[in-house]
Structure formats: C-alpha cells, structure tokens
Amino acid sequence: MRDPLPSDLPDPPAYDGAWVGALLPALLEGARPRWLPGPLADARQVVVLVVDGLGAAVLDRHAPPTLTALERTDLDTTVPSTTATALTSITTGRTPVEHGLIGFRVRVGGQVLKVLSWRGERGPDPAEVQPHAPFAGRAVPVVTRSDFRDSGFTAAHLRGGPFHGWTTPAVLIEHVGQQVRAGAPLVYAYYDGPDKVGHEHGPHSAAFAREVADTDRLVADLRAALPADCALAVTADHGMIEVPDPADAPDPAHSADAPDPADGGWHDLAAVQRKVTAFAGEGRFRALHASAGSSGALRDACREAYGDRAWVLTHDQLVAGGWLGGTPAPSVSGRVGDVVLLPRQRHAFVAPDLPGEATMRGVHGGVLPEEVRVPLLAGRGGA
C-alpha cells in the first residue's frame, strides 16, 4: 500500500499548463496559449531574458519600475526549484524526469555530479546525461556568461546554437542587439545577478534591493536597444527565500519583513547520516540515497528526526504526486533519491559532504510559492 501524501503539501507545478518549460516551445512553434502575454503574440523577433533568482515575490516586494511596467503573467517553475533543473526545462521544454537533471547535485552512474561546476572533459558526457536537444534542435543564439562556455552544464542545456559570452551587462546588451540586427527570430539570454547576491546576502538585504534596481536598469537598456517589432520576454528559473540564522542579531541592513529567526534555519543530518550512501539535491530539496533494501528504514528515521521541519517523501510519493513531471525512465529513476526532504517554512538541510552550503543566506529548491512562482514579463522594443 502506497504511503499517503501529506495533506498540507503544496500542489505540484502545472507541467501541463502555464510553466516555464512551455514558453520556448510556444515561441518556436508559433503556439499562443492563453497565458502568453500580448506583446509576444505577433512579434517578428523575440528576445528571451532569463534572470536567475527573479521570483514573482521579488517583483511584488520591490516593484522595480521598468519590470513592473511590462505586461505580466506568472508561471510555475520546476521542482526542485533550482537553476540546473529549471534552465534545462526552459531550453528543452522537458520536465525534470524527462531531461534528468534533477537538482543542483545529481547521482549519475554511482557518482554525485555537481551540475553547475561540471566540466565536460572530466565528467560524464552531457549529451548522454541530458539527451534532449535544446531549442527543439534549432540553432538559437545564446548570450550568457563567458566563463560558462566550456562547462558540461552548458553543453547539456544550451548545445546546438552559437555561443556569445558576456563579461558585463553592457556586453550582454550589445551581443543581443547584434543577433537581433542579424535577423535571428529568437535570441536566448541569461543574467544571474539576483541569484548571486541573494545567496550571499539574502533576498531581504539592502544589497539584494540594489541588485534588483540594477537588473531593472539592465532590462530598460536592453529594451531600448531593440526595435519596436521585436518583443522582450523576461522570466526566471526560480524565486528565493531567506533562511535565518538563529544566532544572528537583528540586522538593520535587512528589510523590515525579513524572516523571524524562529521560522527556520540550517540543520544537519547527523540523525540519519549513517543510513545514507549518497547526498544529492540541495538544502531545500535534499535527496538521500539509501543502501539496497533500507529505503523504508531511512524514511522512518527521517520522519522521526525531521518531520516537524520537512515533508518527508519517498521516491514513489514524489513521482506519483507529480512534482517531477511524470514517471522517470529507468536511466533517470536512480537520480531521484530514495527519500527527499522538502523543508517547511524557511528550514534547510546541509549535506555533510558540502558544509559550505550552510553559509548561504538566500536559498531555493523547495516547493513554497516564493520559490516556485516566477514572472513572465513582456514588452516591445523601444528603439
């Protein structure tokens, strides 16, 4: 008999409706789902800018003027709500179990692969780990950070099109403009400022507020560089929450709505460490792999130790509940984890083999609306 799902668990992403993986297929195929903003409907060209960490709650909290002025709808991102998974869904149109990059760290071939620092020449073949062609096999120009050029993750989720690396936002804008002037029907661009600042300082910090303002100016300058028959679509891979440190004194640099330290924190996994053969995922989606035949014992131990701070789901519950977007193929099933901790409130679980995670103030990966809901904003160029 299958374990019942917790009654208070949030709903899974709308993988059959308005979600981030449906955007590029709609644009590439000329489809017009009802949720697609009007400026994208009959544009001659479209630039898609993915802003890492720009969740819907960020826009509601900060109301940056340029972004707020664009036509908006909100989408679901993936679970786990993390960069490696969501960007791959955006570029391939595939759900997490279809493309197989289920988290920041994924167990592949018996080894835990740290996806964002994956070097193709020293790791598994990106096309074998993630076999689906990005951009439906079309040669879409990609404008992203220069230092991503030779990464395994870039090969996994961006291969097939010309790569244009940027070192500053000004170069990003110039590369996008060049591709539009050259007649590219679709240009894909990526900017990661909010995610980087949010991880270090937290999404309620003064530094994060400044970064949102800088991102807003980037979008304004990019839009001004595009012709009127070109549309700009801005979306994100995930949102972010702040995990408070109970040892911290109140920080005057943080906004008044910063989380109460009593509402969460980083936690170790000492109570179950000996029952785990591999730690994968991330702090807000901690995937635990058990030795053969001991997944039930690991589940029970996790529920006893952490059930007050997390929803503890088995592999089968996670799949059957729809959070990963389908039933995994045998080659992907082993990447899911035997037990997954989905933290409630603002808790997170640090893996003993990656203790540096606990230094992050802003995190994501889980199932709370602040992590899963992202905006889709659109407007025409102003040149």
Q: 229 and 91 share a domain?
A: yes
Q: What is the tally of structural domains in the chain?
A: 2
Pick from 272, 296, 309: nearest CA to 6: 309
Q: What is the reported pLDDT for 41?
A: 86
Residue type, 261: P
**Is residue 11 assigned to a domain?**
no
HSE at residue 3, side-chain half, CA atoms within 13 A, is 18
Q: 62 and 208 share a domain?
A: yes
Average pLDDT, the chain: 94
Q: 220 and 308 share a domain?
A: no
Q: 59 and 154 share a domain?
A: yes
**Is residue 178 assigned to a domain?**
yes
Q: 283 and 219 share a domain?
A: no
Question: 252, exposed or middle or buried, with CB in 10 Å at 0-12, 13-18, 19+?
Answer: exposed
Q: 214 and 357 share a domain?
A: no
Rounded alpha-carbon distances, angstroms, from residue 202 to 51, 52, 194, 310: 16, 14, 10, 21
Q: Which two tokens stand for residue 275?
A: 């029952």
pTM: 0.95
Q: Over range 318-328, report the average pLDDT.
A: 96
**Is residue 75 assigned to a domain?**
yes
Q: What is the reported pLDDT for 142?
A: 98
103-146 pLDDT, tens per residue?
999 999 889 999 999 986 678 999 999 999 999 999 999 999 99
Residue 310 host element (H or E): strand 310-314
- Read off φ and ψ for residue 103, nearest 5 degrees: 125, 170
Residue 152 DSSP code: H
242-276 pLDDT, tens per residue?
998 766 555 555 665 666 666 799 999 999 999 99
**Is residue 256 assigned to a domain?**
no
Q: 291 and 376 share a domain?
A: no
Residues 6+ apart with CB under 8 A from 146: 165, 166, 167
Q: Predicted confidence band at 195 (pLDDT cuts at 50, 70, 90)?
A: very high
Q: What is the reported pLDDT for 250?
A: 53
CA angle, 50 then 351 then 89, to 5°: 25
The residue range of the domain holding 231 is 20-242+370-380
Rounded alpha-carbon distances, angstroms, from residue 139 to 25, 90, 142, 152: 14, 15, 9, 18
**Is residue 2 assigned to a domain?**
no
**Contacts for 120-127: CB closer than 8 Å, 24+ residues apart:** 120/150, 120/151, 120/152, 120/155, 123/152, 124/152, 126/152, 126/153, 126/155, 126/156, 126/159, 127/155, 127/156, 127/159
Q: Over range 339-351, report the average pLDDT.
A: 97
Q: 286 and 214 share a domain?
A: no
Distance (Å, rounded) from C-alpha 89 to C-alpha 87? Answer: 5
**Is residue 247 assigned to a domain?**
no
**Is residue 105 assigned to a domain?**
yes
Residue 200 host element (H or E): helix 193-201
Q: What is the reported pLDDT for 20?
A: 98
Least confident of 102-116, 151-165, 201-215, 254-268: 254-268
CATH number of the domain to which 358 belongs: 3.30.1360.180
Q: 271 and 232 share a domain?
A: no
Pick from 191, 186, 140: nearest CA to 43: 186
CATH number of the domain to which 53 belongs: 3.40.720.10
**Is residue 1 assigned to a domain?**
no
Q: 176 and 270 share a domain?
A: no
Q: 45 and 141 share a domain?
A: yes
Residue 364 has pLDDT above 70, yes or no: yes
User: Would the CA dihedral through 174, 177, 182, 185 be positive or negative?
Assistant: positive
Q: 350 and 376 share a domain?
A: no
